Structure 1
Amino acid sequence: MPRFQSLVPLLRPLAAPRAVACRQHFRLYTASSEHPSTPQEAQRAADLAAAESLTEGDSAQPPQQKPVLPSKHPRADNKPRNSKKPKTSSQALKLSLPPPKYAVSRSVNKNLPIYTDYKRGGNLHLTTVRKITGDVSALRDELRVFLNKKNEDVKINSVTQHVVVKGHHTSEIAEFLKARGM
């Protein structure tokens, strides 16, 4: 028997924790899992349940109006019907220029191959036109006239056959190429 009693202190941590040791953890819970035994505890449990169930819908304040999203706006049916579109420079440009000696093919996603680039720490802005077949110098000359640039501001990269323009002119070049039928 003395041998069995010497093992009891070793097995004690494996037993369930005593209530005195766990009381400090139980004091943090506001609602008990047991049914209340006294009427005062029942009232406290009901108050806690009511406080937890209070939501914004139960508020005495009127609900705030939700903003109207752009997709929910009514369609623009209120436009005047007899308004004429002003003639843009691309429409006038389409009529006055002969057919181009070059072609700019689109990317796989059907976008024009016009890209912007930053160099020299962000101080130099460049716009590059890629996928040009035919007379690259004709495209360079037409872009230079269309954008009112100097000769040194519109260049051809002789290795890649790209036209490089100083500045960000993505929208203007896209408009120009669409007007030329690309």
Structure 2
Amino acid sequence: MRADARRNYERLLTEAGAAFAERGTEASLEDIAKAAGVGVGTLYRHFPTRQDLIVAVLHDRFEAMAAVARDLTCDDPGRALREWLLAQLRHITATRGLTAELVVAVNNPESPLYGSCEALVSTSSGLLAAAKDAGVVRPDLTHADLATVVHGIAWSCESDPVRQERLIDLFLEGVLV
């Protein structure tokens, strides 16, 4: 990529990240291009679809989530699971509307977000398996249960991290043994 094209690309990612955080994933692409100081044609040359832009904005965040999960491997699998669920909530709610995008993507292999979702599912499943192996959670708890709770909490109290943490703790009281 030429230097000017790379700068445009980076400005578009920065402005899209800010717009998605403030106005959600349905933020105006024209407004994003304008804020980045480029024309909408430049935006579409770099990102042919809204989904392509969302994936690009979230790429580094998904990588950071994988790093968080790796760092959570510890002697206390129950605490690691709690910290992972809270990290997922922070990740999801940092971008308004991301919950809906992820719920669709996780069940749709054609979605550009599917690969990133699969990586998080694998990570989450590993932490859940460690908690089961340690005997600290109910044996019938599934990754789908965890995902449903996280997305439900994200949807219902997107801008209230204190309430999110309380709800995660209430959920865990019901599944920890």
TM beyond 0.5? no
Higher RCO, Cα 8 Å, sep 6+: 2
Q: Which has the higher strand share?
A: 1
TM-score normalised according to structure 1 size = 0.21
TM-score normalised according to structure 2 size = 0.22
